[in-house]
Amino acid sequence: MKTRLVFVLMLLALGLHVALGEVDIAWGELLGALLTGGEVNELHATIVKEVRVPRATTAMVSGTLLGWLGLLMQTWFRNPLAGPGVLGITSGGSLGVALAVLLGLALPAWMAAAVGCFAVLLLIGVGARRFVSPVTTLVFGLMISYAVSAVVSVLQSSATAEALQTFVFWGMGTFGKASLLQAMSCMALQVLLGTWMMRRAKWLDMWTLGEDLAQTMGVPKARLNMEILLITGLVLGVVTSVCGPLAFLGLATPHVYRFFHAQRGHLDAIQGIGMWGGLLALLADGVVRWTDSVAMHWPLNAVLAILGAPVVLAVLWKRTHDWS
Amino acid sequence: MNLVMNNVQVGHTLPLTEPLSLSWKAGGLHVLLGTNGAGKTTLLRTILGVQAPLAGHITLDHGADPLRANDPRVWGQHVAFVPSMPPKHVGLTVAEVLSLSGSWEEAVSRHPQLEPWLNQRLSTLSDGQAQQVMVARAMLQSKHWLMLDEPTAFLDVRGQRHLWDMLTTHLERGGSVMLATHDLRGVHRWMQGAPADVAAVSSIHVLSASGLSPLATDASLDAMEEALG
């Protein structure tokens, strides 16, 4: 499949996401609201600019970012089952929100999540010298996750029902709470991560050949490790703070890409996975918004898992020999 | 460019052997023998610059200004590596793998047997085929030294023959080769029965805790077995 087709589908999904919703807005009015011209109902303009556009762009950009991080982690660990969650940063976000919400601190969830994520990132940064290999990092992330679940369950045992509900809802993830400013910071990160990955594509290609071999080919291992940890931490911290702990997108998107396209070097994969990530996130959020409109309110993470798990299984089924 | 070791001690925290001092002649095929655990791979990683020596230094003769192993970018232009097992799970095609270190056209003109695999992914090749790609890649990276770690471990007789041919090509172009292996019989077969068009072995050293000891390049299999312990 041509990546150009995926790009067109992604733009189409973006357009529909902005155009369709519970409030009917005519196409002419929609364009007027977006381009600030023509006769526009003020309420409709607000809905388009402050609700639908931030939500659609956040979905698209977060999907792209998580897809890229998934690719980065799968390359770094040389393991097809790695995803952005393995560093423990998302867990740090959960801990931040748990502390804020369950202890009743006056801190918005997104800020608490950001603080939690960056606390873990700081920990990684301090210990980075000791993270001589991805495996050390993997174990670190795993331990963080265990510790966080323990602390969260302790906090839950004495929390009010209302606080508990807020925390559980945060854990379900959503693109719907993003402000325009948050959507724009995600876009800035997209530029940052995209540029960085393109520049490092050759190192990443070499890395897939093996750690020792990559180093003899001129990849400075310590520097690459440090860059990967920092940029992944930064991007994941912001995305988790804006959207909650999103499951599956990071893990599944590279596999979807590999399913539809002959996988090539990182330069091609970065473009393809970026588009697939955006498309999948928009589709998932489309499902969420549709269930909202019929009063079912499926959580985003549930939709992502329902869509994502069979895809990953199908891909692994078809491609077992590659990973055997 | 001779590869020179000056009082080098290798290991992770404790030295595995006595200090090593030796100069390997450029343009030759050198064999490094050792049992499992003798420290061949550690020595190889140290020579490659992936691991720092505990003491001493490794240089390449380069006129008045010898090159040192602690600058990976410069070092990599003169010393390239072929691991014992071709990498798995590689999404790159053969042409892309070769392009990481130079022009794939150059590699194919040198080794025409690679041509049919150019658009195949490296992971879909057999171990023997993938090993040939890895050797061709290393030859694009370095005109001088090729370091091979147990290169014949996964190769059948035909695969070994291809490997010898490729290494011979490298030597004929003025390159140098170091083979680290425990495969006495393979080395001996090469020394004894190698066809005339395959390069002759220039030196054999046995690595053990007491250091590197030389072996005659026409040593009998019994003598080799004894030296290896």
Predicted local distance difference test score (pLDDT) of residue B161: 82
pLDDT digits (tens, 9 = 90+) for B141-150: 999 999 999 8
> Tokens 């190769």 sit at which residue?
B155
Which segments of chain A does DSSP mark as H helices, in order? 3-19, 27-35, 42-46, 53-76, 89-102, 109-127, 134-157, 161-172, 180-199, 201-207, 211-216, 221-243, 249-260, 266-293, 300-318, 320-323
pLDDT at A185 over 80: yes
Answer whether B48 sits within 8 Å of A269, measured CB to CB: no
More confident residue, B157 or A16: A16
Model confidence at A131, pLDDT cuts 50, 70, 90, reads: low
Of B93, B123, B141, the CB nearest to A217: B141
Q: Measured between alpha carbons, how far is A94 from A170 in angstroms, rounded to an integer?
A: 9
Nearest to B87 among A210, A216, A262 (CB): A210
Distance from CA of B145 to the nearest CA of A (A): 12
Domain that holds residue B64: 3-228
pLDDT at A324: 36
Per-residue pLDDT at A264 exceeds 90: no
Report the side by side order of strands in the sheet with B3-9: B20-24, B3-9, B55-60, B67-68
In this prediction, residue A42 carries a pLDDT of: 78
Query: B79 with A216: CB under 8 angstroms?
Result: yes
State mean pLDDT over B110-123. 92
Query: Any idea which of A97-106, A191-200, B95-104 has the lowest mean pLDDT?
Result: A97-106
pLDDT score of A321: 46
- Please state the rounded mean pLDDT for residues B167-191: 86
Q: Determine the residue among B43, B74, B82, B92 to mutate to test chain A binding: the one whose Cβ has the most chain A Cβ atoms within 10 Å.
A: B92
Residue B68 reports pLDDT greater than 90: no
Which residue of A lies nearest to B80 if distances are taken between CA atoms? A216
Angle at Cα A74 formed by Cα A71 and Cα A75, nearest 5°? 85
Per-residue model confidence (pLDDT) at position A70:
94
Work out the mean pLDDT of chain A and round it to a whole number: 87
B180–A contact, CB cutoff 8 A: no
Q: Are A216 and B87 a contacting pair at CB < 8 A?
A: no
Mean pLDDT in residue range A43-65? 90
A204: tokens are: 């990443």
- Average pLDDT (B70-88) is 86
User: Measured between beta carbons, which residues in chain A are less than 8 angstroms from residue B89?
Assistant: 78, 80, 208, 322-323
- What is the per-residue pLDDT for B162? 85
Mutation target among A132, A208, A223 for the B interface, most CBs of B within 10 A: A208
The CATH number assigned to the domain holding B8 equals 3.40.50.300
Chain B residue whose CA is closest to A323: B89
Per the DSSP assignment, residues forming a β-bridge with B207 are B212
Residues within 8 A of B (CB atoms), A 63-82 only: 78, 80
**Residues A312-324 pLDDT 10s:** 788 777 765 454 3
Alpha-carbon distance B9 to nearest alpha carbon in chain A (angstroms)? 20
Rounded distance between C-alpha atoms, residue A275 and residue A5, angstroms: 10
**pTM across the whole model:** 0.90
Residue the block writes with tokens 């996401």: A17
Does the domain made of A3-76+83-323 have the CATH classification 1.10.357.10? no
Please enumerate in sequence order all residues whose Cβ is within 8 A of that of B160, keeping only pairs 6 or more positions apart, or say none.
B152, B186
Residues with Cβ within 8 Å of A277's Cβ and at least 6 positions away in sequence, in order, are: A63, A64, A65, A66, A67, A68, A249, A253
Q: What percent of chain B has pLDDT over 90?
A: 43
Using 50, 70 and 90 to split pLDDT, how confident is the model at A37? low
Whether this model's ipTM surpasses 0.95 comes out as no
pLDDT recorded at residue A249:
92
Per the structure, how many domains does chain B have?
1
